[in-house]
Amino acid sequence: MKENQAEFQEEVTYLNETVNFIQNELHSKEAALSQKKNDLIASRKDMWDDTVHMPQDIEDLIDIYKYISEINSVTTDYANVHKSLNQYKKALEAPYFARIDILEEGFPEVDKIYIGLMNIMDKETLGVYVYDWRAPLSGLFYRYELGPGSYSAPLGTIQCEISRKRQFKILNSQLKYFFDCSLAISDAVLQEVLSRNSSPQMRSIVETIQREQDLIIRDVETELLIVQGSAGSGKTSIALHRIAFLLYHGLSSGLNSSNFLILSPNDILNQYISTVLPELGEENVQQTTFDSIAFKLFPGELKPEGRSDQLEKLISLPEGPEKSLKRESIEFKGSHTFVQILDRYIDYYAKRIVPFQDVYFNGVFLATRQQLKNRFLKNEIDIPMAKQLKKIEKVILDKVHPLQKERLKKIEQIVQQCEGHELEVKPFSRLLSLKEGKKFLDSIQTFTQVDCFKMYQTLFTDKNLFLKLSQGLELPQNIEEILSTTDHTLKQGQIGYEDCAPLLYLTLKVEGSHPLSEIKHVIIDEAQDYYPIHYEVFKHLFNKASFTLLGDINQTIEKNTGISLYDDVINILNKKKSLKLFLTKSYRSSYEVNEFTQKILGPVKNSSSFERHEAEPQIVWADNFASLTQQMAQAIDAYLDQGYESIGIVCKSQQDATTIYYQLLKHTKVNLNLVTTCDTTLNKGVSILSAYMAKGLEFDAVLVYQASAEKYSSEFDRKLLYVACTRALHRLSLYYTGELSGFLKFSNTKKSGN
């Protein structure tokens, strides 16, 4: 006991030393920040006083530029000090969370290494109080048990012996407790963290990173890293910590947050995960959705359908020919086969369809259509079609330019002879010349400009052309219906979500543009929801990037796919080093909830459960809709009384979510939040949303609305039900009227009646 007290006092002493150092640094940085602020104000005042406000010549502009450069430099210094100050303020609350004792090979003394969110070092003595969790040395804590270990250093690999691993609970600069463990993360810490209530935004997992997760986070060599992880395995959290690690690792190479992009399924999830990187001391990276990319790249008059709208439409359709046609159309347009057809079409369009014409100007012959075509097809360095045509346009206009001057003189002579324009010969002649030039430009742009939307539309309007291009390829049996339905939609100026990726692919190939080429690393969440054609688009959009893909095949909604999808992705993106990793342990849900949700998928178990035991899920039957609504309202009140702060009512569709929202308003005074595709934030309290909008989110308690055979019967429905149930951390209840879904008729399931 005395030993423990002595050790506790020793740790308290070290914590106090660290806190005192941080407080001194805070005082120093606050003073520095105040000085930087004064410098910034002074620089701006000097610029106002010493420069002209309406520059008259280049010298004035040079003077202004010098002041602007100085102001930008001082502003950057101010921002850096401000960021550092905020990091130290955060570190003051809990400077570190772990300690390892190591004896490096060739050294006589044991080093005590404390690990936290940031480096805390005395720059005068070079003594390190705390090491950043991303430092190579800190990796020993996550990767090794007690005993031998190694880490990378500038001089090579350092061998060492790990004699202690200690974890701390520090709140408000006070040590609450610590304990030693042999494995990377003690189950006690993990239990404590996982037992907390959820929050409206994702938290960091830096204190509880597991060995298999750390291997993913610290991988800097793999250009395409694919993580297949079961629901609740921490895929998204790992990806965000991987970004933080890569930013730390890439400081020397000039990598910054603007070089990273997170591609999420919707804006709700983007907002949900947006606080993790700032919590880890990094600026937020760019976040977007595929919908947003498509909307920005398509002309304003076009109306692309969003992913959520497509899913809602698909879910709402009853089983039958119309739904089958929709699904087959989605499947076909996302396939390798359709990519091949588009590639053939681009080649065919270039060789057969571009409407070259003989070119004349002012009676002077410039080029025959065949000469232009030959020049266009002589494309030895594979310049994209649109750029090649623009080059031809420039060549023509360069020839026309001197002819226009001669033509202008002739026009002036003609105007001089006309009555009524004697006083405006030159301006009127120039106006006529401009109109004539515009007409000429319009005529050559009939073949030097490509309208990708019209080009795509023609593929579906001209059935014979489509069939010609698809010779030797396997097409859906109802291909003619797919062609006619798509043609009808496109003629109305509407683009189905399933047409967004093909149209983007066509546009990128034809125009050869890389609008997001500054991106060096892309995180793609819910990777299983994308088709091969999406990855072809990503390959062109992010042509200089490495990738981290996060997916769960069991959460694929509208299509039938397997692990082979990831092999397709590897072939498409074609990176030098690719790696597939599998995370099969689920940490989000309690043991009981996770075991329950695994049974929904069938007899084959896809993940193991972390041993955090709570109440068994409940299946509740009601004999009518009014009774069901009342019981759900009572459950909401009960969960809130038990201290659960976030409750999700997860429905099959947005239509169902809207229905139960208005019914529950009649039975409870609790504030209810109806989440729609227009929302960008998730609030605490009770959220009512569709299963597809709930992907990636988590709630303390989940109530599944109408888990009946009528709602959930197809394989498509099975995945939706699985997604809905796996959102629960602590409590799961399913409500239904009529007959229970067949996916829930497994043994040992507790049922409650009215």
- Give the pLDDT confidence of 467-499 residue by residue, as tens digits: 999 999 999 999 999 999 999 999 988 899 999
Closest CA to 630 of 737, 739, 749, 513: 737
Query: Is 503 domain-assigned?
Result: no
Domain boundary among 449, 472, 501: 449
231 is in an annotated binding site: yes
For the chain, the domain total comes to 4
Q: What is the pLDDT of residue 420?
A: 64
Q: Are 689 and 639 found together in one domain? A: yes
Distance (Å, rounded) from C-alpha 206 to C-alpha 607? Answer: 23
Query: Is 544 domain-assigned?
Result: yes
232 is in an annotated binding site: yes
Query: Is 102 domain-assigned?
Result: yes
Q: DSSP secondary-structure letter at 215?
A: H
Query: Is 489 domain-assigned?
Result: no
Distance (Å, rounded) from C-alpha 644 to C-alpha 640? Answer: 5
- Residue where the block lists tokens 């291997």: 215
Q: Are 29 and 153 found together in one domain? A: yes
Closest CA to 589 of 615, 570, 561, 567: 615
Closest CA to 40 of 65, 76, 66: 76
Q: Are 184 and 251 found together in one domain? A: no
Domain boundary among 157, 190, 223: 190
Please name every residue paired with 551 in a beta bridge, in sequence order, or none if there are none: 228
236 is in an annotated binding site: yes
Give the domain CATH number at 560.
3.40.50.300
Q: Are 597 and 683 found together in one domain? A: yes
How many Å from the N-terminal Cα to the C-terminal Cα in the chain? 55
Q: Are 153 and 6 found together in one domain? A: yes
Q: Are 698 and 712 found together in one domain? A: yes
Residues 6+ apart with CB under 8 A from 528: 551, 552, 553, 555, 556, 561, 565
Query: Is 329 domain-assigned?
Result: no
Q: Are 607 and 572 found together in one domain? A: no
Q: What is the pLDDT of residue 205?
A: 64
Q: What is the pLDDT of residue 182?
A: 67
Q: Are 629 and 536 found together in one domain? A: no
Closest CA to 616 of 631, 601, 597, 603: 597
Q: Are 618 and 578 found together in one domain? A: no
709 is in an annotated binding site: no
Domain boundary among 400, 431, 449: 449
Regions of the chain where pLDDT drops below 70: 1-3, 182-205, 207, 251-253, 299, 419-423, 747-754
Query: Is 579 domain-assigned?
Result: yes
Distance (Å, rounded) from C-alpha 336 to C-alpha 215? Answer: 32
Q: What is the pLDDT of residue 194?
A: 44
Query: Is 321 domain-assigned?
Result: no
Q: What is the pLDDT of residue 283?
A: 74
- What the block records as the tokens of 1 is 């006991």
Range of the domain at 722: 591-744
- Rounded CA Rg of the chain: 32
Q: DSSP secondary-structure letter at 147?
A: E
Q: How many residues are given for the chain?
A: 754
Please name every residue paired with 359 in a beta bridge, in sequence order, or none if there are none: 367
150 is in an annotated binding site: no
The model carries a pTM of: 0.85
Closest CA to 104 of 163, 164, 159, 149: 159
Q: Tell me the pLDDT tens digit for each residue of 157-206.
A: 999 999 999 988 899 999 988 888 765 444 444 445 445 555 555 556 67
Instruction: Name the helix (H) or strand (E) containing 177.
Output: strand 174-180
Burial class (CB in 10 A: 0-12, 13-18, 19+), 62: exposed
Q: Are 129 and 247 found together in one domain? A: no
Q: What is the pLDDT of residue 308?
A: 92
Q: Are 561 and 607 found together in one domain? A: no
Q: Are 551 and 402 found together in one domain? A: no
696 is in an annotated binding site: no
What 3-state DSSP class applies to 297?
A: helix
Distance (Å, rounded) from C-alpha 581 to C-alpha 273? Answer: 22
Q: DSSP secondary-structure letter at 303?
A: E
Query: Is 492 domain-assigned?
Result: no
300 is in an annotated binding site: no
752 is in an annotated binding site: no
Instruction: Name the helix (H) or strand (E) containing 578.
Output: strand 578-583
